[in-house]
Structure formats: C-alpha cells, structure tokens
Chains A and B, each alone.
Chain A
C-alpha cells in the first residue's frame, strides 16, 4: 500500500516554465469553455468567504422557477436556480437545497430534458437529508453540467449560454449585495471580471434569432454590457467604488427578477434596495 501511495507522489515548487509572452494571435485563438473558463457560482462564493464573512443564511430567498413555455426563459431560470442552490449550500439550508433541486427538475422537465436528471434530483435530496454540504455543492455543479450536456445533445447549444450567463449574473447580484454591506467593501476584488460580462454579452449577441425573440435576451445583453462598463470604469476611491457597486447590484437584481418572473404572475420580489454596512446580509 505504501508503495502505491508513493506512486501518487508529489513535489511542489514554484517556477515559471517559460519567459516567452503569448503572441496576439495566440491570445485571440485561445479556447473559451463554458465548463472551465467561467467561474462557477461556487467558485465566486468560495473567494468571497476568504475576503469577507457573509451571513449566507440571510441571503437565502425562496426560489420558484418561472412558469413559462419560453425555452430561453426556462434556460435562464436554470442558471439562477443553480446559483441559488450554491447560496443555500453555503447557508447549510437543507430544505432550501431540496426545494431548489425540485425546481431545477421541474424546469428540466419543461425543457424536455428531465428524464436524464431524475437520479440527480434524488441525489440532491439524499445529500440534503444527510447535511453532506460538500457533496451537495459537487452535485449541484454536476446537475447544472448535466442540464447543459443534455441541451447540447438535443442540439440546443444556444440555451447553454443563457444558463451560464444567468448563473454568473445571479452570482454578481449576490456578491455585490455582500460587498456593499461591508464598510470597507471587502471582497470587491473578487468581482472585478469585466471581461466575463463582455464575453457573455457577445456570446448572447451571436445566438440565433429564434432564441432571442422575446426581448429578455436583449435586456440581458444590455445588463451585461452595463455591468462590464461599471466594472471597467470603477474608480479607486471607496465612494466611487460604492456607487458603481450599487448600480451593478440594482441592475443585476432587476434582471434576475425579470428572468424568474412568470408572464401571468408579478415579478419575483428581488431586494434591489441598496444594502448598507448596517444592514449586513
């Protein structure tokens, strides 16, 4: 056994393997992969945990999937629900994780991809029952990936972009709320990802027209562009940073509310009010 353990050996040391910089064409040709190039909500929240100490329990909101027949809206809804699932895991709220798992299954069914996901839903419920938080976080990521894999299998690749964009935006919505509640705006460096907003915006822009028919997508593009501009032009003075964060939070929360709204029902009540340091989440 010891011999086998030594086979899985490791040596850690710091080094740079080359001094050559990348060429412009190499940078241009770099691959962007939804599953690795984009930070998952869990990754964003993990970084926030190290920079500030959010009270995750106060960030848990009831999550209901939109009642809609619009596949684009449903795909966006899966993204928001996945991010909400990570918040519930951070808050160690088992009931909420179960509820979100059921909502994701319901949306997957409406999208016609529920069959492959039944076992995932059961695993989420089982892990929540046993308070297996790390397994739950892994299972959420796998569930989101499986939804996306099934979308690709059903030649609905465009929907994957929408799910990813919505998950990222919900992550930004929650992250800005957490940072704004901190006097020193700790954690602000985590969300400085304007290139991510730009990337998602241009990916949605390139989606086929049949996907972009209902106006929700153009609102999303506008929102992502605005988030990118605010992240790029954010000053270094605390007041300038606070103003930009407030704007990003307001716009992302409104967009998430629109994604989760059912056409016949009122908008999901999102807390777009600007948190202050005294109203820590």
Chain B
C-alpha cells in the first residue's frame, strides 16, 4: 500500500514536471510530428474541474500518454459498474479520417475485461490494442481505431473475471486526432 502511494506520487510528479515543460526532448518531438500540437494539461490536474472518481483519475492518467502524442482527450467519461459476467454498451459516432482511442480504467486490481468495438450492425471491428498501465494500479485497457467510414459504432465492456468478488467500477475516456 505504501509502495503504491510512493509510485503514485512519483508518477504525478513526473506528469507535473512534463506539464511545466521540464521534460523537453519527447515533448518537442511530438510537437513537430503532430503539426505544432502542444500538450494540454491533464484534466485531473485542473483544480477548477470537479474532483474525479478514482476510476476516472486512472483513466485520465492512462490516457495522458495519448495526449502527449497529439491526441485530444474529450471532456467527458462513461462511468458504470459491472458484476462478473455482465457487459455494458455505449453508442458512438466515429468520423472517417480521425484516429480514436478508448481508454478504460478501474481501481479493481487484475480484473479480466473484454473491450470490443462494434460497427452499426453490431459486428465486432478489428482494433488496435494497447496496454496502458497507470503505475500498475487497478486495471486498464485501451483500444484504437481509424474508422473506414463515418457512422454509428458501439463500444462494449464485459467484466469476465477478477481475483476478488468486488464489482467493477470503471471509467472510460476517449481521445481523437
């Protein structure tokens, strides 16, 4: 527990130092590659915004690396709770030409989750998969897509298993560029 708190403090300090422009080399590279995009401050560090839940904080922390790659994180979250075996679905409208990432996080440790994107007919779509670990706290998962066509999509999250009997409180954020 103590170790986890130390890691969390160090990660936050690292992110703060990046926000203040103290970590120059990788930031500059992103700015050139993405057409002058400056990294915005992570939303969980903005004191004027409502205090996020632990799941939301972890999701924003995981998504922060996308922010540094020029992705814009949308100001909103999908928050829900699942019991083992349950699934939830979210409607989305994705636009051709954009690159999207969906990042979910939960404070529940080592949960097995299936995150799937479906087309407008409900058929699964092949996505990029990315392992995000926000200081190895809780469970995180991220999938990405450059849609071939604009239109309606669905995002499904299924809670398959976890070592504990806890229900899965999760938060999902999205990013695009």
In the assembled complex, the CB of A139 is this many whole angstroms from the nearest CB of chain B, namely 9
Decide yes or no whether A277 CB sits under 8 A from chain B. no
In the assembled complex, the CB of A101 is this many whole angstroms from the nearest CB of chain B, namely 15
Residue pair A14, B126 in contact (C-beta under 8 Å): yes
Residue pair A189, B118 in contact (C-beta under 8 Å): no
Bound Cα distance A48, B150 (Å): 12
Bound Cα distance A51, B150 (Å): 12
Bound Cα distance A29, B87 (Å): 11
Residue pair B76, A31 in contact (C-beta under 8 Å): no
Q: Chain B interface: which size bin?
A: 35 or more
Decide yes or no whether A15 CB sits under 8 A from chain B. yes
CB-contacts of A1-44 with B (<8 A)? 1, 4-5, 7-24, 26-27, 29-40, 42-44
Decide yes or no whether A57 CB sits under 8 A from chain B. no
CB-contacts of B132-151 with A (<8 A)? 132-136, 142-144, 149-151
Main secondary structure of the interface of A (DSSP, over half): helix
Known: A7-B11, A141-B74. A17 touches B97 (CB 8 A): no
Q: Which of A1, A13, A46 contacts B129 (CB 8 A)?
A: A13
Q: Which residue of B lies closest to A140 (CB)?
A: B75
B residues less than 8 Å from A20 (CB atoms):
124
Q: Which residue of B lies closest to A28 (CB)?
A: B89
Q: Which of A15, A20, A149 has the most CB of B within 10 A?
A: A20
Decide yes or no whether B162 CB sits under 8 A from chain A. no
Q: Which of B7, B41, B151 has the most CB of A within 10 A?
A: B151
A residues less than 8 Å from B115 (CB atoms):
17
Known: A37-B92, A135-B40, A191-B150. A22 touches B122 (CB 8 A): yes
Residue pair B7, A7 in contact (C-beta under 8 Å): yes
A residues less than 8 Å from B80 (CB atoms):
31
Known: A14-B129, A22-B122. A46 touches B177 (CB 8 A): yes
Residue pair A137, B95 in contact (C-beta under 8 Å): no
Decide yes or no whether B90 CB sits under 8 A from chain A. yes
Decide yes or no whether A119 CB sits under 8 A from chain B. yes
Q: Which residue of A lies closest to B152 (CB)?
A: A195
Main secondary structure of the interface of B (DSSP, over half): mixed
Known: A7-B136, A189-B150. A15 touches B65 (CB 8 A): no
Decide yes or no whether A126 CB sits under 8 A from chain B. no
Decide yes or no whether B154 CB sits under 8 A from chain A. yes
In the assembled complex, the CB of A45 is this many whole angstroms from the nearest CB of chain B, namely 10
Decide yes or no whether B83 CB sits under 8 A from chain A. no
Residue pair B118, A43 in contact (C-beta under 8 Å): no
Decide yes or no whether A138 CB sits under 8 A from chain B. yes
Decide yes or no whether A262 CB sits under 8 A from chain B. no
B residues less than 8 Å from A48 (CB atoms):
97
Decide yes or no whether A193 CB sits under 8 A from chain B. yes
In the assembled complex, the CB of A227 is this many whole angstroms from the nearest CB of chain B, namely 14
Known: A13-B129, A46-B177, A192-B149. A18 touches B114 (CB 8 A): yes
Residue pair A16, B122 in contact (C-beta under 8 Å): no
Residue pair A33, B124 in contact (C-beta under 8 Å): no
Measuring CB to CB, which residues of chain A are less than 8 angstroms from any residue of chain B?
Answer: 1, 4-5, 7-24, 26-27, 29-40, 42-44, 46-48, 50-51, 119-120, 132, 134-135, 137-138, 141-142, 145, 149, 189-193, 195-196
Measuring CB to CB, which residues of chain B are less than 8 angstroms from any residue of chain A?
Answer: 7, 10-11, 14, 37-38, 40-41, 43, 46, 48-50, 64-65, 72, 74-78, 80, 87-98, 114-116, 118, 120-136, 142-144, 149-152, 154, 156, 172, 174, 176-177
5 smallest beta-carbon distances between A and B, as pairs: A35-B76, A22-B122, A50-B97, A47-B95, A30-B89
Kindly list 13 other residue pairs between chains A and B, CB separation below 8 angstroms, not including A16-B126, A37-B93, A189-B97: A5-B14, A8-B64, A8-B134, A13-B129, A21-B121, A22-B154, A30-B90, A39-B94, A50-B97, A50-B98, A189-B149, A190-B150, A193-B93
